[in-house]
Amino acid sequence: MALRIGCCAPPGKACDNKTGSWRVFLPVVDPETCTLCGNCVLICPETAMEEVEGKIVVDLDYCKGCGLCAEECPTDAIAMELEEK
């Protein structure tokens, strides 16, 4: 990315800026306990949680490991685990 005066960017540029590298903890979803209520998808500030074919998947390019999904999960199906790097 070339520097643009005043830090201007065309739309969608934030998608190029993969911020998953900041993560220390990683959300791990247990498909057995998950009821697919969708609370984690709604609460994720990075829109990194998504339901795909009846399963919650995490987009690790953008998940910063904040743990809001785990806090919000009504069935405690999400565990925040230290990520080995």
Partner 1 sequence: MLQIMEGSHAVAEAVRLCRPEVVSAYPITPQTHIVERLAEMVADGDLDAEYICVESEFSALSACLGSSAAGSRVYSATSSQGLMLMAEVVFNVAGMRQPIIMSIANRALGAPLSIWNDQQDSLSLRDSGWFQLYGEDVQEMTDQHFIAYKAAERHDVLLPGFVCFDGFILSHTYEPVDIPTQEEIDAYLPKYVPYNMLDAKNPISMGMYATPEYYHEFRYEIDRAMDRCATALSEAGKEFGEMFGRDYSEHIESYRMDDADIAFVALGSLCGTVKDAIDEMRADGIKAGLVKIRTYRPFPKNDIAKALAGVATVAVLEKNISIGSAMKGAVGPEVLHALNGTGISVYSYVTGLGGRDIRKKDIRNIAELAVKGEGDMFYGLREEVL
Closest to partner 1 by CB, 18 vs 55, is 18
> Is residue 24 close enough to count as binding partner 1 by CB under 8 A?
no
Give the separation between CA 7 and CA 66, rounded to whole angstroms: 26
Does residue 14 belong to the site contacting partner 1 (CB under 8 A)?
Answer: yes
Number of Cβ within 10 Å of residue 6's Cβ equals: 6
Q: Rounded CA gap, 36 and 51, in Å?
A: 8
Nearer Cβ to partner 1, position 4 or 55?
Answer: 4
Residue 5 as a binder of partner 1 (CB under 8 A): the answer is yes
Under a CB-based contact definition with an 8 Å cutoff, are residues 54 and 36 in contact? yes
Comparison of 3 and 82: residue with beta carbon closer to partner 1: 3
Instruction: Give residues in contact with partner 1 (CB under 8 A).
Output: 1, 3-11, 13-14, 17, 19
